[in-house]
Amino acid sequence: MEFQNILYEKSDTVGIVTLNRPARQNALSIALLEEMNRCLAAVAESREVKALVLRAAGRNFCAGHDLGDLAGREIPVHNRMFAICSEMMLRLQRMPQPVIAQVQGIATAAGCQLVAACDLAVAEEGARFGTPGVNIGVFCSSPAVSIVRAVGRKRALEMLFTARLISAREAVEWGLVNRVVPADGLEAETMELARHIAKASLSCLAAGKQAFYSQVNLPDAAAYDLASNVIVNNFFTEDGKEGVAAFLEKRKPVWKDR
């Protein structure tokens, strides 16, 4: 796949998407968002990719929406920008492969939203996260959707009301990222995590990811009903049967869905 604003490559069973607008701090333009949606749709259909890394070129991960696309434009352009962005964020959650953000430098506004929307995130020690919309009179309402689901109400509102950039250490304590590592180990740590996940059956990962997001905001009883149905069906997939047999026979499973 060839794009103008992003790069895509594959390392064995790990896909790698790179935001590639470093001169603009990888700001999310309409063109970039459209390319991301096309790329993610293609990856979701691939049976060769079992985990996806989302990273960025240059010093910073993503500074949010490209305001140059919006300044002086009418409401339909604004609506299009945020509709396409919401589509991308939902694709990250709905695609079968686990998605890992690899974060350096700043991740602000929609860039912070992008980190929160990924399933997992690894950050370097100097990374900073924030929702500075109030500084320009535009509250970060859409970034808040993903962020509150990652860090909870009180911490999300602190970020949204104060516009303070939180450190990588705070981000891992708050649940926005999973791991913080030295900058020179960021890529290796992220790829190690992705390759570890990619050892699993894709059908198993896909079913589990879908069930997780489907149940997470349900009342407990409904969540158990949904999750129980999913796990029963999982046992009867080819890889579910193979995994149980391999466990009982004390051998490594050979996944059909590789």
- DSSP E strand stretches across the chain: 6-11, 14-19, 51-56, 99-103, 106-108, 120-124, 128-130, 166-167, 179-181
| pLDDT tens by residue, 85-94 | 999 999 999 9
**What is the mean predicted confidence (pLDDT) over 225-250?**
93
CATH of domain 6-197: 3.90.226.10
**What is the mean predicted confidence (pLDDT) over 46-63?**
97
Q: What is 202-248's CATH number, 1.25.40, 1.10.12, 1.10.287, 1.10.1740?
A: 1.10.12
| pLDDT tens by residue, 152-185 | 999 999 999 999 999 999 999 999 999 999 999 9
Retrieve residue 157's tokens: 């509102």
Domain boundaries, the chain: 6-197, 202-248
| pLDDT tens by residue, 134-155 | 999 999 999 999 999 999 999 9
Provide the whole-model pTM. Answer: 0.94
Distance CA 96, CA 47 (A): 10
Residue with the two structure tokens 């604003």: 5
Q: Is the dihedral of CA 152, 154, 160, 162 positive or negative?
A: negative
Q: Is the pLDDT of residue 1 over 90?
A: no
**What is the mean predicted confidence (pLDDT) over 58-83?**
94
**Helix, strand, or coil (residue 51):** strand
Other CB atoms closer than 10 Å to residue 239's CB: what's the count? 21
